């Protein structure tokens, strides 16, 4: 009887242990799944420069990378998805990323552009993975794409860079490469979706919203009617007053310099609110 109890207890102990291990494995799988998209660079990769907030660091990013060639990576801080790219002139490439017309150009169908419009620059991190010679950017880009498996790169093949002329041998390799049918199908579906009128309209609204939040407010007092109007940006104020943005900038500069209040167009008092 005693032996039967011990056997039964052993069976319960083994069952409980197995159940605990299975529960632990399931929990580990859920945790791994949860953090699957939150990439960290492999220990063998150390970025040359990290820009934690590309929205704030815009001027610094363009200035520090002017005329330099190399490999960069965008990381979405919300979804964890990444994009690896290269350029023989990183400063010019990053300037394009901050250009609304470039991001929404129908001919420019890159998924990273749509993501920047959707989430905003402040929800991304930008890293310079490596600076290199112009003739090596494609090879180094492919190296990092193979290593990091960036999700925003629909086709995991490094492309050409602006301003760089490839050799005939390299061009021949580009022309001869083939893509799997499933890759082409995914690409076509993404292009069709991201360039639909609905998505373009949404992207434009998001960008206008972002610009409105970052815009410098301008308070305009009509000296004849004594009515005060506040505009969301210098551009909107200039349009309403029928003058150029430079005219408002000049008015602000002269007011700060002379400490005198003068009338723009002999009628308006301008107060640029720089918070």
Which string of DSSP letters, residue by residue, matches 45-68?
Answer: ---SEEES-TTTTHHHHHHHTTT-
C-alpha–C-alpha distance, residues 60 and 128, integer Å = 13
Q: Name the DSSP class of 135.
A: G
Q: Which of 16-20, 54-58, 148-152 has the lowest mean pLDDT?
A: 16-20
Backbone angles phi, psi at 164, to 5 degrees: -110, 130
Q: Report which of residues 213 and 153 the model is more confident about.
A: 153
Q: Is the pLDDT of residue 133 over 80?
A: yes
In a domain, 44, yes or no: no
Q: Report which of residues 62 and 100 the model is more confident about.
A: 62
CB-based contact 120:55 (threshold 8 Å): yes
pLDDT single digits (tens) 93-117: 999 999 888 888 777 778 898 899 8
pLDDT at 89: 93
CA 150 to chain centre: 13
Among residues of the chain, what percentage have pLDDT more than 90?
24
The domain tally of the chain equals 3
In 3D, which of 262, 256, 208 has the Cα closest to residue 236?
Answer: 208
Last residue of a domain, one of 157, 180, 209: 209
Q: Report which of residues 179 and 248 the model is more confident about.
A: 248
Instruction: Please check whether residues 32 and 157 belong to one and the same domain.
Output: no
Instruction: Please check whether residues 54 and 150 belong to one and the same domain.
Output: yes
Q: Which of 11-15, 214-218, 226-230, 241-245 has the lowest mean pLDDT?
A: 11-15
Residue 230, classed as helix, strand or coil, is strand
Instruction: Please check whether residues 203 and 233 belong to one and the same domain.
Output: no
Instruction: Please check whether residues 81 and 175 belong to one and the same domain.
Output: yes
Q: Report which of residues 20 and 121 the model is more confident about.
A: 121
pLDDT single digits (tens) 156-185: 666 644 444 556 776 677 677 777 787 778
Stretch 15-33: mean pLDDT: 42
pLDDT at 109: 72
Residues of the domain holding 254: 215-273
Stretch 218-230: mean pLDDT: 90
**What is the spatial order of strands in the sheet that 49-51 belongs to?**
49-51, 124-131, 70-76, 82-87
In 3D, which of 261, 270, 107 has the Cα closest to residue 194?
Answer: 107
């Amino acid at each position: 009887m005693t032996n039967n109890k011990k056997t039964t207890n052993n069976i319960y102990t083994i069952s409980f242990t197995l159940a605990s291990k299975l529960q632990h494995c399931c929990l580990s799988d859920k945790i791994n799944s949860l953090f699957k998209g939150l990439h960290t660079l492999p220990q063998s990769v150390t970025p040359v420069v990290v820009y934690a907030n590309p929205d704030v660091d815009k001027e610094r990013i363009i200035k520090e990378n002017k005329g330099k060639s190399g490999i960069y990576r965008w990381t979405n801080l919300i979804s964890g998805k990444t994009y690896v790219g290269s350029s023989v002139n990183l400063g010019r490439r990053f300037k394009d990323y901050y250009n609304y017309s470039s991001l929404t150009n129908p001919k420019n169908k890159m998924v990273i552009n749509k993501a920047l419009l959707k989430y905003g620059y402040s929800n991304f991190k930008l890293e310079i993975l490596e600076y290199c010679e112009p003739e090596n950017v494609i090879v180094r880009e492919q190296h990092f794409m193979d290593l990091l498996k960036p999700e925003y790169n629909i086709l995991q093949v490094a492309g050409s860079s602006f301003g760089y002329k490839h050799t005939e041998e390299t061009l021949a390799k580009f022309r001869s490469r083939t893509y799997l049918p499933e890759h082409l199908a995914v690409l076509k579906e993404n292009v069709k979706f991201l360039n639909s009128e609905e998505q373009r309209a949404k992207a434009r609204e998001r960008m206008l919203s972002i610009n409105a939040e970052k815009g410098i407010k301008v308070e305009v007092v009509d000296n004849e009617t004594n009515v005060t109007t506040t505009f969301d940006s210098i551009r909107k104020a200039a349009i309403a007053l029928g003058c150029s943005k430079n005219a408002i900038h000049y008015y602000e500069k002269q007011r700060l310099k002379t400490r005198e209040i003068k009338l723009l167009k002999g009628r308006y008092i301008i107060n640029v609110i720089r918070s």
